[in-house]
Every structure is written in C-alpha cells, then in structure tokens.
Amino acid sequence: MKFLEAIVDFLERNIKTLFYYPGEQVLPLCEEVENSKINNILAGDERGAGFMAEGYARITNYIGVAISSTPGAGNLVTPALNAYKDNSSILLITGRNYKKYRGENYFQEIDMNFLNIYKGYFDPKYEDFVKAFYECLYSRRPIHINISLDCYDKEVEVRDYIKYKYNYNFNIDIESRKPLLLIGQGIYGLMPYKDIIKINKILKSVQIPISTTFPARGVISENSDNCIGLVGRRGDIKSLLEADKIINIGSSLSYNTYVESVRNELLKKTININFYPNDIKEVKELFNNISLDNLWFEKELYFTPKGDYSKKIYTLISSLPDDAIIVNDAGKHTVFTCLLKKCYLPKSLIASHSFGCMGFSLPTAIGVKLACLDYGIDREVVSINGDGSFIMNLQELKVISENNLKILIVIFENHKLGRFKTINNPNFVKIAESFNIDAYKTENYEEIEDVVKGYLRGNKPLLLSIKTEDEDLPTPNR
C-alpha cells in the first residue's frame, strides 16, 4: 500500500470529520480525503480550519484534524498556539515541495519548523504518522506533521499501533479539617463525551466542597449543594484561602486559577493527584477512595448585571436552554458571560481560556456543531462575539451556510476593541444575508428574547446583532 493510501485509510478508521484548505503541496492528500468516507469540510481560511479542528476536539475530548498547504500553514500558527495554551488535541497536517528544492529559492519553498509549537514530524514513515496521531491525543497538545510531495507514492507496511493505557494507585490518604477539591479539565482524561457527562453524578455524592477551573465548569452542576463553582481570577478566592488542604485533580494551576497575590500560599497546601482516566469506572474508583466528609463552605453570591452590556448578555443567556454550548470569543462579552452563566453540564462554556485569542468563536463553534452532529450530542451551539473579533473570521459564514449548520451567531456591537480603540462596523445583517443566512439587529431586551425563541423553533442558522452601550468590567482577583 502506498503511503498516501495508508494514512487516509488510518484517518478513515479513526476520525469522522476533518477541516482543510487545499493547495499545491497537499493536493494529492486532499483528493484522497475527498474520495474517502471522511466528512471533509472546506474552510474559508486555514486559520478557520485550525479553530474548527480545536472546536471539534474540545467538545468530543478527542482529536481534531486540519490540513493546509505550505503558505497556508502560516495561518495555522494562531490556532496551534491557542491549542497549546488550552491543552487541545489538534493534528495539523501540512505539505511541502519535493525534497530536491530544499534550501533553494523555489516557489513556496520554506522551512516549516515555525509550526512546531509543541512537536513536529517531517516526512514521517507510516508508523510515525500513527504515533503522532496518538501522541497528539494523549499529550493534549498540537502536533504538526509536514509531508513532502515525494512521500505520497512510497510503498509502506501497515501495522497496528498498540494504544497506551494509564494505570493508577487509588490509595489516597489525606487528613484535613477543611478539605477542598479543585477539578480541572484533566479529569476528562481519555474519556468520550458520553462518559464525561456521567462525572456529575459521581461528584454530587462527594461530601466535601468542589471547585472548578474555567475549562472544567459544569463537570459538576453549579446548582449542586457541594459545588463552589469557578475559582480564581474571575471566580471565588475565599474558599481557596479558607481550605486547609486543596486536592487538585486535573488542573494545571495556571495564574487564572491561582492568582498571583495568593499563589504561593495556595501552592503550599495543594496536594496534586496524578489522574488521567481511561474510562468512567476509574473516576468512580478514585472518588470511592476519597473518604473526607465536611461540607464546611458557604456559597458566594453570583455577579449581578448592572449596565446595558451585562443586562443584554443576561437576557440572551436566560433565553437559551440550560444545556446550550456557548462558544465565546475574546472581549468584554466573554467576562460577562463567564460571570452570568451557570453551568449544569460539561463543555457549557468554550473559550480561548489561556490565550485570549480574537477570531476564535465563529470557526470553533462550527467545529463544535459538526462534532455534535457526528456524535449525537443534542445541544444548541451559540457563538458569542464582539464586533471587533467577529470581523476577523467572518468568512467562515460560508461554511455555516453551505452546510446549513444550526448555530446562533451573536454579535455585541459597542464599537470598541475593549479599552484600546473605537471602531466603525460594517452592516453585519447585510453580510450575513449575502451568505444566505437570516439576520436580525436589535437594541431591545424583549426583542432579544423573541428572536432567540424563534431561532430555537427553527432548523437554520441565525445571526443576531445586538447594539449595546459600553460598560466597565468588574475588577478581577489578582
């Protein structure tokens, strides 16, 4: 079997959808994929393809794949950086000219090391390609595979890859008067979505306070009696300070979780549990071995909307189903959504948590929606954007339109790039309509609710532009 046939056969057996933008150096690969059973989604831009792959990986807890030519690989850098910071498994496959042109001033010939944000494989053998796939999955990092045109016609021997299984010692002996569990997204391990949503039932029976990082919000319903909710920069700090032991399961303990002013104090009393479960049975076993019993905390009051911007976001959130998946871009809307949204299920809020990347929401929401369709995840997908961030990747409206993806695309128009710059906006309604997507603009609270209700009854995408007055953000914990 030729290398090209072998790698597409492997992908066909291991993924359902991938995202790509064709070019000369990846033309053989793109044509082979187009003739396979893989659902191949043509993005409007390589950056969009990268973010779509990340959205797909985020909701499934599996792997997202994006393909690009040599010049298009530059557009994959931002998604790769974002995936690195947020621990997302995205496999980036790029092409390159024939090897004889290496080091020559040949058209589109360039060193491709720039995309090795975490690790890169160059002109891999078949077994290296398979290894890279699983390394991407297990490491929760972006992996780059660069393939020269010479490689595709090479004869290869196809061998099965033995998947790695983590083994644990579940004997956990901790003494504490005021224990606190801190849950990060690492608790998802290698589990599929259908297992991840079962963690909530296990955690609700644990008789000690449970807090979460931003990416893990909803792993336990924030209505549960033992759930503190989000802690850190935009969450609770009091409980972290009052606990005498913090048991960390799955958090990287970034500065968003342990803020600088109290970081050293919190690190001294943190016990890290090395846990990366293969299945839900291992999660049950872990918590059966935690025998602490003391619900000592008091729940803090949630943020109350005060200005026009936060009140309109609250109106939007209140109009959506409780289990909706909200994909945020970077901006004030992200903070207000974080403060106002209660999470009852995992993956309820997806954002560029550690990189704060603009242009993230729209293409990522596309990846999330396609994964929901592939895996039977029956939840509404909502993309919330600022006016500045939406402009960065609006070409991906093409993908939504061509695939009739039911996504609610919301733009909050305050004509500002945060505190940095005042901007002028195009007519977003006309832009959406030019892609054959229904659109509506309002500044009225009641209309927001009515438009969202109408959208939920239908089966088509909708763009909703909401004019809003600017509003200062509450001061974060530092």
Residue 245: which residues within 8 A CB-CB, separation 6 or more? 174, 175, 176, 178, 179, 180, 269, 271
pLDDT of residue 162: 65
Q: At what angle do helices 27-34 and 3-14 cross, to 10 degrees?
A: 50
Strand-strand pairing, 143-148 and 227-230: unpaired
pLDDT of residue 173: 77
User: Which pTM does this prediction carry?
Assistant: 0.96
DSSP code string of 206-217: --S-EEE-STTT
pLDDT of residue 172: 74
Q: Residue 421 in 3-state DSSP?
A: strand
Beta bridge partners of 410: 384, 464
Q: Residue 463 in 3-state DSSP?
A: strand
Map tokens 């189903």 to a residue: 321
pLDDT of residue 165: 67
pLDDT in tens, the chain (478 residues): 999 999 999 999 999 999 999 999 999 999 999 999 999 999 999 999 999 999 999 999 999 999 999 999 999 999 999 999 999 999 999 999 999 999 899 999 999 999 999 999 999 999 999 999 999 999 999 999 999 999 999 999 888 766 666 666 666 778 899 999 999 999 999 999 999 999 999 999 999 999 999 999 999 999 999 999 999 999 999 999 999 999 999 999 999 999 999 999 999 999 999 899 999 999 999 998 888 888 998 887 778 999 999 999 999 999 999 999 999 999 999 999 999 999 999 999 999 999 989 999 999 999 999 999 999 999 999 999 999 999 999 999 999 999 999 999 999 998 888 778 888 899 999 999 999 999 999 999 999 999 999 999 999 999 999 999 999 999 999 9
Structure tokens at 203: 């955690």
Alpha helices, DSSP H, located in 113-228? 126-139, 193-196, 199-204
Ordered by where they begin, the domains of the chain are: 3-151 (3.40.50.970), 179-288 (3.40.50.1220), 308-467 (3.40.50.970)
Q: Is 34 left (phi over 0), alpha (psi -120 to 50) or beta?
A: alpha
Of 232, 135, 244, 233, the C-alpha closest to 183 is 232
Which amino acid does the sequence have at 371?
A
104, burial (CB in 10 Å: exposed 0-12, middle 13-18, buried 19+): exposed
- Integer Cα distance of 125 and 88 in angstroms: 24
pLDDT of residue 175: 87
Beta bridge partners of 158: none
Beta bridge partners of 328: 384
Type and span of the H or E element at 17: strand 17-21
pLDDT of residue 299: 80
